[in-house]
Structure 1
Amino acid sequence: MTTEQEWAEERELFVASPSAASGPLAREFVALAENLMTASTVAEVLERVIHAAKAVIPGADLVSVTLRDPDDGFRTPVETDVLATRLDELQYALNEGPCVAATRKGGLGVVHAPDLLASPEFPRYGPPARELGAGGVLAVGLFPQGEAPRMGALNLYSLSTGVLDDTDRDVALVLAAHASTALATTQACAAADLEAAQLREALRSRDVIGQAKGILMERRGISADEAFDILRRTSQDLNVKLAQVAETLAGRRADL
């Protein structure tokens, strides 16, 4: 079994020289990278990241992810403990706290409050968060890297004060970079799939509209513009999509 001291030494080695690290932390990151490659949804990526963070950062008693909604609100889609969600939601309600601040910070996007009660940055959040059980918080902004506002943050909670340190911060930055890359790739793939489906549908609609126009031109001896105008007016009169009118016409060609 790996001792806490061995974990600490391995973490320091990884931060100093990732290529030189060959112990459990390095293996954990290799496994994370492989897992993220097979994640097909945003939820899968986030679940794998928070459990990896819990495994490689001993001081992180609770881990969660904050995501920014399109309307500039916040939500917590994944967490390792329901208390993490309660601590996150307190920040959202107060519009104050490390997780919220990390989404608004450029550069590395790190916000570290090792002792919430002694943190002058979060006077409204610190006391009630401490009452809930949180001692310190380390939050790292997710993608887009280096820009603000960010789309989310990786949140690490310690139940004791002064536990999360600079080495934890560096490891969290590596985790956040993994998460950001995987999330960006997943969302890009999803957007590309949607765009491809929409393009296929648009091409199919264009083809069937062309067929319907050809039928009308042949049967009525009219121009392409006149045929399209008939289809358009029929669509409006029946309150049916133009492509659907064209598909019905093309499908019943033998009946006309």
Structure 2
Amino acid sequence: MGAVTSEQEWVADRARFAEDDEDWAGPLAEQFAEVGRLLLAGSTVAEVLERVVTAAKAVVPDADFVSVTLRAPSGIYTTPVRTDALADELDQLQYTHREGPCVEATRTPGAGLVGVDDLTQGSPWPRWGPAAARAGVHSVFSVGLFPATPPRLGALNFYSRRPYGLAGLDRQLAIVLGGYAATALAATEAVTPAQLEAAQLREALQSRDVIGQAKGILMQRQGIGAEEAFDILRRTSQDLNIKLVQVATLLVNRRGEL
């Protein structure tokens, strides 16, 4: 996206942005202009969301991976796009426990900003926080999407393996990008809210069913419990860098061969 820029130029330009320089018009400004063009050129929700996470990785390079959470009116959460399988896994754990930054961002009034600088030093989420830290994620930050009054449509989520990896300027850039993403989604008329909810609900139920089948196969064949079976699926997903539901589907469809 955009012309090649040296690391020194990026650092200097980010500093000017943070200082609110009135003449700010460097490579970061060009990047945001390009992001706006790309997002508004998306004709479907899926296309816009794919462009959102791609842009997020470019604009906030200190984020190791990014995802988008969508919340249907019925309360069903899904992750339609992500840059890494671990992001999908961390999101799914939040949906299961009903706690974590992306879930909280859909409930938080005002700007809908939720983050923790170092999960190893404590977390407001007693189940999700320690699990994320064990997976190697140390700092998190989520930006709620529209509308301003909860419950929101969803959230834009950033994960970093480094403590304080998403502090200061990175958060400012994430907030700006969240506004771009919300505007682009609001302008997309490819699906109605009812169609989006139906698609999300269908995906969630199908995923839950196939993961349950895969866990059952592992429990029966290896004589293990449900938690151990899920951990095998989770680690395999992470090792292969594919979605957890894809690992489960592969196991269910090819159980006679594996």
TM-score scaled to structure 2, two decimals? Answer: 0.68
| Counterpart among 30, 34, 38 of residue 33 in structure 2 | 30
Question: CA deviation digits over 1:20-55, x for unaligned, max 9?
Answer: 322221111111111112100111111111111101
Distance 2:21 2:144 in 1: 21
Distance 2:22 2:159 in 1: 28
Alignment correspondent of 1:49: 52
Give 5+ residue unaligned stretches, structure 1.
195-256
Q: CA deviation at 1:130?
A: 1.3
Question: CA deviation digits over 1:205-238, x for unaligned, max 9?
Answer: xxxxxxxxxxxxxxxxxxxxxxxxxxxxxxxxxx
Alignment correspondent of 2:159: 157
Distance 1:17 1:87 in 2: 34
Distance 2:75 2:21 in 1: 36
**1:179 matched to 2:185:** no
Alignment correspondent of 2:105: 102
Question: Is the CA contact 2:53–2:67 (under 8 Å) kept in the aligned structure 1?
Answer: yes
Question: Is the CA contact 1:138–1:164 (under 8 Å) kept in the aligned structure 2?
Answer: yes
Distance 2:36 2:21 in 1: 14
Give 5+ residue unaligned stretches, structure 2.
196-258
Amino acid at match of 2:143: V
Quick check: 20-29 or 83-92, which moved more?
20-29
Quick check: 4-13 or 174-183, which moved more?
4-13
Any idea what SS the aligned residue of 1:127 has? helix
Distance 1:88 1:185 in 2: 25
Amino acid at match of 1:46: L
Distance 2:191 2:100 in 1: 31
Distance 1:190 1:90 in 2: 27
CA RMSD in angstroms, aligned pairs only: 2.1
Q: CA deviation at 1:117?
A: 2.4
Amino acid at match of 1:170: Q
1:57-206 matches, cutoff 5 A: 57-144=60-147, 146-187=148-189, 190-191=191-192
Quick check: 161-170 or 10-19, which moved more?
10-19
Question: Is the CA contact 1:11–1:171 (under 8 Å) kept in the aligned structure 2?
Answer: no
Question: Is the CA contact 1:116–1:122 (under 8 Å) kept in the aligned structure 2?
Answer: no
Distance 1:39 1:15 in 2: 29
Amino acid at match of 2:163: T
Question: Is the CA contact 2:35–2:55 (under 8 Å) kept in the aligned structure 1?
Answer: yes
Q: Give me the identity figure in percent.
A: 50
Distance 2:188 2:53 in 1: 17
Quick check: 67-76 or 119-128, which moved more?
119-128
TM-score scaled to structure 1, two decimals? Answer: 0.69
Distance 1:99 1:138 in 2: 8
Question: Is the CA contact 2:116–2:141 (under 8 Å) kept in the aligned structure 1?
Answer: yes
Any idea what SS the aligned residue of 2:74 has? coil
Alignment correspondent of 2:14: 11
Question: CA deviation digits over 1:116-168, x for unaligned, max 9?
Answer: 12233112111111111211101000111x22111100000001111111211
Question: CA deviation digits over 1:161-217, x for unaligned, max 9?
Answer: 111112111111110111111101104x645xx9xxxxxxxxxxxxxxxxxxxxxxx
Question: Is the CA contact 1:68–1:75 (under 8 Å) kept in the aligned structure 2?
Answer: yes
Any idea what SS the aligned residue of 1:180 has? helix
Q: How many residues align?
A: 191
Bigger helix share? 1
Any idea what SS the aligned residue of 2:188 has? helix
Instruction: Give the 4+ runs in structure 1 shifted more than 6 A.
Output: none
Question: Is the CA contact 1:142–1:154 (under 8 Å) kept in the aligned structure 2?
Answer: yes
